[in-house]
Chains A and B, each alone.
Chain A
Amino acid sequence: MTRTRLWALILLVLGGLGAFYLHSTYKTSPFKLGLDLNGGIHLTYKADTSKLPASEVAGAMATLKNVIESRVNAFGVSEPVVQTEESTLGDEKVHKLIVELPGVNDTEKAVSLIGETPVLEFMLLQATTTPGATTTSSVLIPTGLSGRYITTAQVEYDGQTSRPQVGMVFDKEGGDLFAKITKEHVGEQLAILLDGQVITAPTIQGEIIGGKAQITGQYSVQEANDLARSLKYGALPVSIDLIGTQTIGASLGSEALDASMKAGLYGFAIVALFLILWYRGRGIVAALALIIYVIINLIIFKVGGIVLTSAGLAAFIISLGMAVDGNILIFERMREELKRGKSRAEALAVGFSRAWPSIRDSNISSMITAVILYTFAASPLIKGFAVVFLIGVAVSMFTAVTVSRTLLGAFTKNK
């Protein structure tokens, strides 16, 4: 008896410490909020892998993810998410790319930056004189050499002027082509075009062997860096097609968060009030256990870095109602045992051991549901729901076994 009371005291102190931890880290390490509560953009792309042999798809998707990640990082968003997903639809395998940009609102700009592929072309610049005219105009003649042949690109500095420039290395095929062009057109101008704009048009001094070229322009270091990176990661390994966009305004998100908090508080109050009115003293114990349940859950959300969505918060609020099920089962069982003339302590022990199989079985079935839900969740909203629901059910089972039992034992008169 004394022992149970000691344990109960320890539990309450631990609960208090937990609450203190949550309170003191409220500002320093806030809960992770999903896009729907924070505002931002969620983009879903379908990758066209139909032209690739099956063995190369995984590699191509990994490269795609890297390329997009590097582009997204250049965006300067905090904590962007880039992930690939595979699902089957009929006989077809669908490969998807998902990009989340918290705090961003301009969908069009985001989409264009992500989907942007710089096109680099090399063309010969030839002056033509129109008969009868006094001026000469120039025409661009494609050479077939393009950014496709670039294996790597990096920022270099000009030996004489120390100006940043972008050095490129061609692959074998590109290098041969480059050598051929420079050999055949000595004295002519070779224009380098980025997205259709002539950047520079140096005169070819002689054949260039070795497959290396430089773009010298009036670049700042930053610009040269950006250009080098987009050339290097230039072409995507597979083409992507935007199949879904979601944009959530920041104000809508914060309103949803406020509403969820309000619902949580009122929900808790109503459930606790009901328990106390119906079960009196034991109801107070159950409400205490419920508070500890809330604290444990919140700590798991924080420490586990669980992303909370509006559906996740709804799951948490619903779990408040479901978590007391364990308590109610025990209480009802105790009531029966008391009616049969057992002492309070005996009634508690019997009530608990009889209620346990029900608590176990029913919670396991809820956990099965949660796991299936998580596996088949088609959106982060639903995934958020499933995770919180699963945690809630697991924690409620734990609190029913430990917290409720200990507290009840401690508050039960030994008669």
Chain B
Amino acid sequence: MFIVKNRIAFYILSILLIGASIVSLTMWGLNQGIDFKGGSSIELQQTASTTVAIPATNEAKQILEDAFPESTVRAYGEKGFLIKTNELTNAEQTAIKAKIGTVLPAYEVSRFDTIGPVLGAELKKKSVTAIVLVLLAIVLFITFAFRQVSRPVASWKYGIAAIVALFHDVIVPMGFFSVMAHFFGGYEVDALFITALLVVLGFSIHDTIVVFDRVRENLSHNSKGKNFEEVVGDSVSQTFVRSINTSLTTIFALVAVYVWGPETTRNFALALIVGIVTGTYSSIFIGSPLLVTMAGKIGKKG
């Protein structure tokens, strides 16, 4: 199987991707949403009313930027804007709504979120805990599920190979969002983004388990005395079509959410698409070859 044979090439590709992601994350960081850092966000939508003149998008944006110099304004959805400011009190919220009504009557406030720093800190903590727990649960589960397979590779090594693949799946979407946010603006990281990462973890482990499961089965039927590398290679090629097809159907569904779904879940769908593509890649091209690498010399004895 070419994937297992050329594993070094895929390792290098992955290291490059991870490296680039880490560089981007340390240099530019992520564009954190108000979920994390606290603040207010105001979503405006064009009114259906026809009695007021509707200014061009650029003009409307300019008006908003002039009216709220302390905040950032960007286009949101087809006919809307998103204004981000510091945390606003209740009275300030009312004042802002009134001001928008005066300076830009063609638009109305359709969503107003204010999140205090307490909630932000809580979300950060919960997110980290959830990610750590998911990773831990997955290693434990894999170690348990593959407990009978201790030759030629100990079952916990399957867990480690899976975790390396998973690390890859978390870091690459983060890097992608970091790069996109730096060059294009937007691409905010919020609670939904964390959810996307967790789902990617679950999905990628799906793929990894299917391949490992095949390795497990092939090892028990290994009458021809193939060495470990060959067994893994066979397993990867036997599950290849399945992995690609399942990822494809899921990506089709996600593209539908991205293209036709509501604005709220658009970035979420994008994070999932990037994550699932990398997840599928890492399961096939990283997770299984790593098993062979970790097996080391034992594998050659067959």
Chain B residues near A278 (CB, 8 Å)? 245
Query: Does A255 count as interface, using CB distance less than 8 angstroms?
Result: yes
**One of A121-129, A159-167, A309-317 contacting the partner:** A309-317
Query: Does A366 count as interface, using CB distance less than 8 angstroms?
Result: yes
Q: Which of A36, A314, A376 contacts B127 (CB 8 A)?
A: A376
- Report the Cα distance A336→B262, complex, angstroms: 41
- The answer to whether A244 and B253 have CB atoms under 8 Å apart is no
- The answer to whether A264 and B256 have CB atoms under 8 Å apart is yes
Proximity string of chain B (90-115) to chain A, C-beta cutoff 8 Å, 1 when within and 0 when not: 11011000000000000011111111
Proximity string of chain B (241-283) to chain A, C-beta cutoff 8 Å, 1 when within and 0 when not: 1100110111111111101111111001100100000000000
Q: Which of B122, B201, B265 contacts A310 (CB 8 A)?
A: B265
Within 8 A of B (CB), among A241-256: 242-249, 251-252, 255-256
- The answer to whether B203 and A366 have CB atoms under 8 Å apart is yes
Query: Does B16 count as interface, using CB distance less than 8 angstroms?
Result: no
- Report the Cα distance A89→B122, complex, angstroms: 6
Q: Which of B110, B134, B145, B257 contacts A361 (CB 8 A)?
A: B145
Given A270-B253, A310-B262: A246 in contact with B245 (beta carbons within 8 A)? no
- The answer to whether B195 and A370 have CB atoms under 8 Å apart is no
- Report the Cα distance A313→B260, complex, angstroms: 12
- The answer to whether A382 and B191 have CB atoms under 8 Å apart is yes
Q: Which of A94, A260, A320, A362 contacts B206 (CB 8 A)?
A: A362
**One of A138-146, A177-185, A293-301, A325-333 contacting the partner:** A325-333
Query: Does B62 count as interface, using CB distance less than 8 angstroms?
Result: no
- The answer to whether A252 and B257 have CB atoms under 8 Å apart is no
- Report the Cα distance A368→B250, complex, angstroms: 19
Chain A residues near B213 (CB, 8 Å)? 357-358, 361
Given A318-B199, A357-B213: A376 in contact with B249 (beta carbons within 8 A)? no
Give the residue name and chain of the A residue nearest to B108 (CB). Answer: A249
- Report the Cα distance A372→B199, complex, angstroms: 11
- The answer to whether B90 and A255 have CB atoms under 8 Å apart is no
- The answer to whether A369 and B202 have CB atoms under 8 Å apart is yes
Q: Which of A263, A317, A357, A376 contacts B126 (CB 8 A)?
A: A376
Give the residue name and chain of the B residue nearest to A333 (CB). Answer: B242
Query: Does A389 count as interface, using CB distance less than 8 angstroms?
Result: yes
Query: Does B209 count as interface, using CB distance less than 8 angstroms?
Result: yes
- Report the Cα distance A321→B259, complex, angstroms: 16
Query: Does B43 count as interface, using CB distance less than 8 angstroms?
Result: yes
Within 8 A of A (CB), among B130-160: 130, 133-134, 137-138, 141-142, 145
Give the residue name and chain of the B residue nearest to A36 (CB). Answer: B264
Query: Does B116 count as interface, using CB distance less than 8 angstroms?
Result: yes
- Report the Cα distance A49→B126, complex, angstroms: 21
- Report the Cα distance A111→B88, complex, angstroms: 14
Inter-chain CB contacts under 8 Å: number: 238
Give the residue name and chain of the A residue nearest to B212 (CB). Answer: A361
Given A311-B195, A324-B246, A365-B202: A260 in contact with B261 (beta carbons within 8 A)? yes
Chain B residues near A329 (CB, 8 Å)? 210, 242, 246
Query: Does A215 count as interface, using CB distance less than 8 angstroms?
Result: no
- Report the Cα distance A364→B202, complex, angstroms: 9
Min C-beta distance of A85 to chain B, whole Å: 10
Given A245-B93, A318-B257, A366-B206: A385 in contact with B241 (beta carbons within 8 A)? no
Chain A residues near B209 (CB, 8 Å)? 358, 361-362, 365
Given A107-B90, A252-B43: A314 in contact with B269 (beta carbons within 8 A)? yes
- The answer to whether B90 and A372 have CB atoms under 8 Å apart is no
Chain A residues near B264 (CB, 8 Å)? 36, 256, 310-311, 381
Query: Does A229 count as interface, using CB distance less than 8 angstroms?
Result: no
Chain B residues near A264 (CB, 8 Å)? 256
Query: Does B32 count as interface, using CB distance less than 8 angstroms?
Result: no
Listed by A's residue number, 10 A-B pairs whose Cβ atoms lie within 8 Å are A247-B112, A252-B111, A259-B262, A263-B257, A263-B259, A267-B252, A311-B265, A320-B253, A365-B209, A373-B195
Extra pairs beyond A87-B122, A263-B259, A328-B249 (14, CB < 8 Å): A46-B118, A108-B90, A270-B255, A275-B249, A310-B264, A318-B250, A320-B249, A321-B254, A325-B206, A362-B209, A365-B141, A366-B205, A369-B202, A373-B195
5 tightest CB-CB pairs across the interface, nearest first?
A267-B256, A321-B250, A321-B253, A243-B116, A369-B202
By a beta-carbon cutoff of 8 Å, the part of chain A in contact with chain B is: 36, 44, 46, 87, 89, 94, 107-108, 111, 242-249, 251-252, 255-257, 259-260, 262-264, 266-267, 270-271, 274-275, 278, 310-311, 313-314, 317-318, 320-322, 324-325, 328-329, 332, 336, 354, 357-358, 361-366, 368-370, 372-373, 375-379, 381-382, 385-386, 389
